[in-house]
Amino acid sequence: MLNHWAINIAKQGLIAGLLLLSGVAMASGLQVSPISLTLHAQQNAGGLTLSNTGDDVVNAQVRVYHWSQKDNRNQLTASRALLASPPMITLNPGEQQLIRVIRTSTQPKGAVEDAFRLSIDELPTQPATQKNGLQFVLSYSLPVFVQSSNTAARPALQWHLKQQIGTEDALLQVSNNGAAHAQLAGLYFIDSNNQRLDINKGLLGYVLPGATMSWPLKLPLDTMTSGTFKVMINGDQTTPNVTLDHPTH
The torsion region of residue 110 among left (phi > 0), alpha (psi -120 to 50) and beta comes to left
- Residue 79 maps to a domain: yes
Q: Which domain holds residue 13?
A: 4-146
- Tens digit of each residue's pLDDT (9 = 90 or more) over 24-79: 333 468 999 999 999 998 899 999 999 999 999 999 999 999 999 999 999 999 99
Give the confidence band of 107 by pLDDT, cuts at 50, 70, 90. Answer: low
98 and 204 inside one domain? no
Q: How confident is the model at residue 124, as a pLDDT?
A: 86
96 and 161 inside one domain? no
CA–CA separation, 72 and 2 (whole Å): 14
Structural domain ending residue among the three candidates 124, 146, 168: 146
Higher local confidence (pLDDT), 109 or 137 = 137
- Residue 152 maps to a domain: no
For the cut 60, the answer to whether the pLDDT of residue 225 exceeds it is yes
- Residue 134 maps to a domain: yes
- Residue 180 maps to a domain: yes
How much is the mean pLDDT over the chain? 85
142 and 161 inside one domain? no
3-class secondary structure, 11? helix
- Residue 138 maps to a domain: yes
CATH number of the domain within which 31 lies? 2.60.40.10
Structural domain ending residue among the three candidates 95, 117, 146: 146
Total domains, the chain: 2
12 and 70 inside one domain? yes
- Residue 107 maps to a domain: yes
- Residue 249 maps to a domain: no
CATH number of the domain within which 215 lies? 2.60.40
For the cut 50, the answer to whether the pLDDT of residue 7 exceeds it is no
Structural domain ending residue among the three candidates 95, 112, 146: 146
Please give the model's pTM, rounded to 2 decimal places: 0.83
Q: How confident is the model at residue 149, as a pLDDT?
A: 87
- Residue 19 maps to a domain: yes
For the cut 70, the answer to whether the pLDDT of residue 16 exceeds it is no
- Secondary structure (H, E, C), 79-101: CCCEEEECCEEEECCCCEEEEEE
Contacts of 25 by beta carbon, 8 Å cutoff, 6+ apart: 19, 136
